[in-house]
Chains A and B, each alone.
Chain A
Amino acid sequence: MSEAKQSAESPAETEGERLHPDVVAALYSEHAVELRSFLTGVLRDADLAGDVLQAAFTKAVEVGHTSQEESRKAWLFRVAFNEAMQIKRRGRIHERSTRQLARIREEHDSGRAEDEAFRSEDVARVRQALDVLPEAQRQVVRMRIYEEKTFAVIAEELGCPLGTVLTRMRLAMGKLAGRLSDEDLERER
């Protein structure tokens, strides 16, 4: 038995050759929402993301005991990503649309019941972050994400160079996503 395997298999965590169901349940509770979001970003399909999420946790039950506890989140994401890429390569995603954001929205709207509290927290934080954005940045965010316009169209409508629009969007996304990351870090503490 390797050192890594020995360190991962503490008596409280394993049940025979598998992770203890309580450990898997805790993993799901802690990471499922974030993992589902990641998979939606990769696959751009809410149903497929749900399927891959289940597959990833099935693997966690079967072979999760081979991973180290301190890097189990990264292990889970890597397993899910590999599963998602296999599906992509098999050509199960036929449509490659430029309107992926609409699918992300659908995924967000049709979330599972246990994700609702998580989502409402996200909405509250993003609302606060949007309120303090400069109006020029918020306008670009609204036009790109909510109105689903391309950056070229936004630049034309605002009468700005494309580079200016991209810069505004980049700055705004940094602030908005940073707000969520900061809150996640505080929650983990």
Chain B
Amino acid sequence: MNPESSEYEARNSDEEATWQAFQYVSGELTAEEERAFESQLAADQALREAVASVVRTCGAVHVVESAPMPAPVTTAREFRGVAAAGWSVVFGALALTLVALLSVWWPSASDDAANIADGGQPVEGTAASSASPEVDEQDVLAMWYASEEELSGDQILADESLPLVDGQDDFVVPGWMFAALEPERMDGMVEEMMEEMPQPGSTNN
């Protein structure tokens, strides 16, 4: 006999037994059909097990259909978890920013306080002043001017491996770089810029 056909027959037989059992259990059979089924039950263990299986299945179906699925709760939990993680990132970033700002502001404020207590002026350029408070502003300016003179005097750059670009020989340090270290020159540049800007009342027409 073909194994596939015997398997098919067995499955069909199981399905038939289950259907008969369901009809018996759910009261679909007539009195005569019920008696006939019960006489089969007296001799057929597979049919008895089919009855038991149908009863268990019906009970489980009732439980499943009467209970809501817990999926929405899980989704809400997951959403709350993601939201909490997002807020953690935001608060962490804010805390880091605050720490960074404090680390910049705190030494500057303490140096200013010390200078003022000594009768001096607050030092501008906080990073430089906090790194080497003993370096004077005039010393820095002197270093810049010395480097400018070296370059203008056709001095060779310390690093000879760097490629020279055409026109680099006549390189001049721009004025705005010195203005950052020399407040008087900066003030002059700002005034020149303000004069060159068009006034609100004046039009070309």
Task: Give A contacts to B, CB under 8 Å.
Answer: 34-35, 37-38, 40-42, 44, 73-74, 77-78, 81-82, 85, 96-101, 104-105, 107-109, 119, 122-123, 125-127, 130, 141-142, 144-146, 151, 169-171, 173-174, 176-178, 180-181
Contacts and interface: CB of A to CB of B under 8 A. Distances in A.
B172 to A, nearest CB: 80
B59 A119 contact: yes
Contacts of B65: 142, 145-146
A92 to B, nearest CB: 16
B43 to A, nearest CB: 8
A81 B22 contact: no
B98 to A, nearest CB: 51
Interface of B: 14-15, 18-19, 21-22, 24-28, 38, 41-42, 45, 48-66
6 contacts: A108-B56, A123-B64, A126-B60, A146-B61, A174-B18, A178-B14
The 7 A-B residue pairs with the shortest CB-CB distance in the complex, in nearest-first order:
A108-B59, A126-B60, A174-B15, A38-B52, A146-B65, A37-B52, A37-B55
Contacts of A105: 58-59, 62
Contacts of B26: 100-101, 144
Given A38-B55, A73-B45, A173-B54, A100 B25 contact: yes
A113 to B, nearest CB: 16
B42 A122 contact: no
A174 B14 contact: yes
A41 B61 contact: no
A42 B39 CA distance: 12
Contacts of A170: 15, 19, 22
Residue with the highest number of chain B CB atoms closer than 10 Å, among A98, A108, A125: A108
Contacts of B55: 37-38, 40-41, 104, 107
Nearest to B26: A101
B42 A81 contact: yes
Contact of B45 (A77, A99, A169, A176): A77
Nearest to B21: A41
A180 B45 contact: no
A174 B18 CA distance: 6
Contacts of A141: 61
A81 B41 contact: yes
A101 B58 contact: yes
A104 B25 CA distance: 9
Contacts of A174: 14-15, 18-19
A127 B51 CA distance: 20
B132 to A, nearest CB: 73
A73 B14 CA distance: 19
Contacts of A144: 26
A99 B25 CA distance: 10
A38 B48 contact: yes
A149 to B, nearest CB: 11
A82 B21 CA distance: 18
B38 A176 contact: no
Contacts of A123: 60, 63-64
Nearest to B24: A41
